Structure formats: structure tokens, C-alpha cells
Amino acid sequence: MIFQQVSKLKDKTEKSIFIELVTVYIRLVEVFCEKNHLEQIPGEGGEIGERCGRQIDGSAEQAGRKLVHELCSIGVISGKDELPELRNVLAGQYLPFLHAVQTAMFYEDMMDGLLDKLYNSRRRKLQDNSRQETALSMVDFFCGAGGLSLGFIQQGFRVRLANDIEDVCIRTYRYNHPELPSGRVIQGDIKEIVDRAEEYIGQDIDVVVGGPPCQGFSEANRQRVIDDPRNKLYKYFVKAVERIAPRFVVMENVKGMLKVADQVVEDYGKLRAGRNGQNYSYLVDYRILNSQYFSVAQSRERLIYIAVRSDIAREKNLTPGRIFDEIETGCEGNKTYILMDALRDIRSLEAPRIKNQNEIDSEACGKKIDVNPFENHTNPYLDLINQGRKIPFVFNHKARYLSDVNYEIYRRLDQGDDATDEKIRDIMPYAHRNHCFKDKYYKLIADRPSRTITAHLKMDCHSHIHPYQVRSLTPREAARVQSFPDDYLFLGAYLKTYMQIGNAVPPVMARAIAQVIKRYLVS
């Protein structure tokens, strides 16, 4: 479930996660009312709110009982006796939360499922209704915020297990995938998951996907670079394939892994996976794929491995190379989208000029959750990433802080200019190291696919300066470039949203890969 009951919160971290979700609930109700020109119930004012609080704290009135029932349905409490603890944890957010919950109850028929992801009861119902044991199944290791999973889900796959070590990624994944039981989305070391795979996965799996980090590429003279201890996560991914014995494997990594690609092929060739009394081997191949050819508004080269289990290969007369050929053929005729396609139909913002403002919402600098004034605008790229849906709200569209020096650098640069440009020579703080920091500053070119969105954006965004506005890309703009839908909310601290987005596989690219693999699972 998305909420832990307030009485079960064990430490400050769990309480802060709880408060963040409550804040999201409050804000969603606020923007719903703003968009529809409605007043919150019971209305503005501390006096009414205090009366509401007294009702449920000390009265058996019908309104109070209904509100307690709703809070239990959300999952924040298990009964009326936990209200004092809820008040204590939420502090100043307690009465605004009660206002928001009452408002949501009053306008429930108008809200069109807006809050469903924040109700334990509604998530449970969705999970019960979506239990399709015959559905195509997948497991996602190193799932991050869920880009690779999303592409496969959009092609009809059902996730049986998702795992990542980053807590904030798991929280984002859980929020955006309410159809998955929380026990199937696990934060922790892959080693612990692999060693207990049977406890999590009780059936045959069609596809295992993932992008294991590999870091030990520097010692090029070593015979088996892939055996470097720093690549142990890759080794556990291979072990997971051996334990689970999926019909297909899709492994994604950085282009730099190409130098050990043949060693990876060798490792897969040695695999002997056992399941249901059968032993299987795998055929594997790899190619560099660029997301721009999948109609993602970004030039992002990634090394993709595809493995096919031996019995499937024989039955379908299939090789991984044939799958890659079909994936690449499917890209022929695809429209190439440019950066500006992703940046259209979204509000202009100003960069905050005062430090420590990134977490604060404002009209000028943006809000974590806001009304989408462009809901009814047509845009082919947004139609692609949003699958034709009109999305009334926009998430994570907030500009990042700029110092005076960086503001002036951003202002002077033209599209395509970098840190070596003469226009900023007098104020460039890294001028003496331009030989290695050439890309430290770069203003993006509007009429080309964006340069690669990376996790480094959490450190600074100087390499991704907006082509027209004096600021860097917002997390939402970066997410659009990555082809995430506009209603995919990234939880956690502002800077960590960049990390989640930059590490992800573009969902539209994943969707195309899943589409080809799906043909061989349903035919």
C-alpha cells in the first residue's frame, strides 16, 4: 500500500515520507478546486477547521464518523483512537489535510480518480481487479523510477517483481504503479532478492529486464574486465536470470559497456537455467540503439542486450538478432521529434535567484503540482508520450536556482554555445579548465533532438540550459524529453527528481522493444 498507518511509523524518515504523501493529497485537492473554480469544503478559515477537528476527535456525529472512515480508507489511521497521533505527526498540516479529505469526499463524483493512487483501499481494489495470471509477466531489476517497466506495461505486461536499492526511486515507482502490490516493489540489495527469488516469484516469467550499473571499465588491459569486483551488480543480474529462467531478457546499459559486450555474450552462453525440471541455455546479442529513432525527443544512445531462452529460440526459429532487426525496422518512418516539441505547451518560468528556494512553490518559479493551462492544446509529441490522454495537471515543473554569475552566463549564451564561448570568457569560472569542462555549460538547440538527459543534472543543470528562457530545464521538461507522461509524479527532494529522470530508460523506447518481444509470446 502507499500509506503506512500513522501508528506504525518507526522513525523520522518514515514520518517524512508519510508527510510528503499527505502534502501531495492536499495539493491535488487544491489544484482540482482551482481548475474547476470550486471552494474547498468545509471552506477557508481556522474556526471551521478547528470545529471539524473537534468533531472527529470528540464527537460521534455522522460527519465525524464519515471522515474517520475516509481516513481509514486512505490508510493513514486504523481507527478514531489514532487521531491524536495523526495530529501530532502532521502538526500544521493536520487541519489542511482534514479540509482536503472532506473536500474530496464532497466532490468525489467529479474527481475522476485523481486521488486513487493515494488511497490504500482503492489501490487494493485495483490490484484485485487486475490479477491476470494469464497476462504477460515481467520482472524489473534496477527498476529506478520505472521507465522501462512503464513501456512494457503499456504493451500489456504485468510486473511480478520490481527492485531497486534507491528508496526514493521505489517510492516514485509505487506511487505511479498502483496496480502493483507494495510487496512486489522492493527496496533493497539485488543479492538478497536473488537469493530468495522463489519467495517473490511463484510462476514462469516471460521477460526479465534491467540496467545493472557497471563501473569497472578503466583497466582495458585486463582479460576479463567484466569480472572486476565493481561489476558485481551485473553478476547478480545474470544470476537472477539463471534462477528465474525467463523466456526473454532485456538488459540496458551505457554505451561505454560496449568494450565488454563480447564478455557479456560469453557469460550468457555459459548460463544453464533450471525451472520445472528443465534446463535451458540462452542466445544473446547486442546493439546500440538511439532513442531519437523511436520518436523520443532526445539523442540517447544505449547498449541493449536481448537474450532468448533456447526452447523459445527453437520453437519460434528465433534469434536475438532477428528481434533487433524487427525493432530497427519498426523505427523506419518514425517521426523525429526535436527538443521544442517537448517544451511546447508548458508554462514559462523564471529561475529562483535566492538560495534554498528549490522546494518552495511559487507562481513565477513553478510548483510541484499545478493546473495545466495547456490541457486542450494539441501536440503530436505529447499525444505520443501521454497516449492521447488530456492531462489536466502538470507535475514537477519547477525552475532551479541560479546564482548571479550563472544567470549572466545563461543569458549571454546562444543556442549551441558551450563553456568555451568568447561571450562568457570574462565571467567563466572554469576557463582555466575548458579542455575538460567544455560541456560544463551548454545551451540546448531547440530544433534538434535534445542531448542526453543524465543523472548528473542532480548536481547542476548547466549542461542543459533552456534554449529561450534564462534557466535550465525543469524536471518535468527533462521527463518529457525522456518521454514520461505528464502525470508521472516524481517523489522525493527536488534535486533527486533529476537523478530519477536521468537514470531512466525512455518509456516510448521501451514500449517499442516490448511490442516486438510481445509478438513472440502471444503467437
Query: Which three cell numbers mark 292?
Result: 531519437
CB atoms within 10 A of CB 306: 25
Question: Can you name the residues that pair with 155 across neighbouring β-strands?
Answer: none
The whole-angstrom separation of Cα 193 and Cα 507 is 25
Task: Give the active site residue among 143, 214, 365, 461.
Answer: 214
In terms of Cα–Cα distance, which of 469, 191, 148 is closest to 304?
148
CB atoms within 10 A of CB 81: 10
Contacts of 407 (CB under 8 A, 6+ apart): 351, 353, 470
Could you tell me the CA-to-CA distances from 255 to 76, 264, 266, 274, 302 in Å, in that order? 45, 14, 18, 31, 5
- Edge to edge, the sheet with strand 301-309 lists 185-187, 157-164, 136-141, 207-210, 248-254, 301-309, 282-290
> What does DSSP assign to residue 443?
B
Pairing mode, strands 248-254 and 136-141: unpaired
402 and 432 Cβ atoms separated by less than 8 Å:
no
- Decide if 214 is catalytic: yes
Query: Which three cell numbers mark 46?
Result: 481556522
Catalytic residues: 214
